[in-house]
Amino acid sequence: MSSPRRVLLGVCGGIAAYKAAQIVRCLQERGAEVRCILTRAASAFVTPLTLEVLSGHHVYQEEYLSANGSGRELHLDAASWGEVLLVAPATAHVLARLALGLADDFLSTTALAFQSRLVVAPAMHESMWDHPAVQGHAQALRERGVEFVGPVHGRLASGDEGTGRLAEPEVIADATLGLGRSASWNRRRVVVTAGPTREPLDPVRFLSNRSSGRMGFALAAAAAARGAAVQLVSGPVALDTPFGVERVDVVTAREMEAAVLAKAADADVIIMAAAVADFRPRERRDQKIKKVDGAPTLELESTHDILRGLGEAAPQAYRVGFAAETEDFEVEAERKLREKGADMIVANDVSRSDVGFAATDNEVTILRAGMGAERIPRLPKREVAERILDAVEAALEARADSA
């Protein structure tokens, strides 16, 4: 089945409605054409003009008949145009109306007439999301095949912490478009690591690095969108789990190694995108190191090289490592390719602020044994992830042909 390219976005009246503009952009960046439906309540949070300018289409509100005099009912036209109906944010009120089949505005009448996929991204306070009535409506919708994205745990509009936050626009866009994409990696099992590790000095201090985890999360999302069963092992990062990905959170290099090795034996592809600490304190103090005691002498020891160990733990897997360097990054990548037994090394220059740690873009060089370097220019990290997976896929096909 091809990826849906015509998305109807229904925006409901909640504070998270302000993210509708970003959702439109994320869908467009993934190749979708978007038309928006704005409920009466939603228009208090985001204007029709904003969504009309961004989408390039008239925004449906409460019109009934086409303005061209054809007599066509607009909600039927909208329902027949869309390949997927995404409701984001979906309030408790709208979930109830969808579950009960009520049809008293443009969005609900369109939803009743809609014959394709329906995706909802709820957003509300945790106490509302947990209410038995809301959970009952959500369950009824799931049983009818409606797909849910979130809600996720995080800081809510009220200032409270809990589950009820709208999933990130990128995650919503991936879920809306990713399920229908070509399942070229169907039945493949992929392990991806992401983010930094933290090596404790004492109960309040640790050694770490500036990795945001964005590249690893982009790779996990891209692999899941291709149909793979993806297990993401992540260090401490402030990112939502990509849609369709199983996530394991770890803190230290030792914990990351244990999590990867637990999954390595069954993996077809292992991508080590995490910035794993090379060293840790030899001794972890049980109590906070006091300033009055003077500057401590810090003795370090090497952590295990997880990528190098995968040659024995997962010889069947295609193993990809990353080389985040500040100088001579291609030379260092070639050395790592030889010494670590990897099938591929992805090298990038993290000294550059535009493509280094925490940047939204990346620029990398892919190196494989016996092959020349493939340079990927500066692109958004999701697009870089797709290029990396394309290179992995080509290598897997070549391996299968030579077997």
Q: Do 308 and 341 touch, CB atoms closer than 8 A?
A: yes
Closest CA to 193 of 328, 324, 376, 364: 324
Task: Report the relative pairing of strands 147-148 and 33-38 from DSSP bridges.
Answer: unpaired
Active-site choice (68, 209, 348, 362): 209
Tokens of 217: 């999360």
**What one-letter code names the amino acid at 149?**
V
Cis peptide before 236 (omega within 30 of 0): no
**What one-letter code names the amino acid at 375?**
R
Cα(135)–Cα(151) distance, rounded to whole angstroms?
12
- Annotated active-site residue 362? The verdict is no
Q: Do 9 and 37 touch, CB atoms closer than 8 A?
A: yes
Q: Do 343 and 369 touch, CB atoms closer than 8 A?
A: yes
| CB-neighbour burial class of residue 148 (10 A; exposed 0-12, middle 13-18, buried 19+) | middle
CA 142 → CA 12, 119, 138, 267, distances in Å?
Answer: 19, 10, 6, 30
Catalytic residues, by residue number, are 209
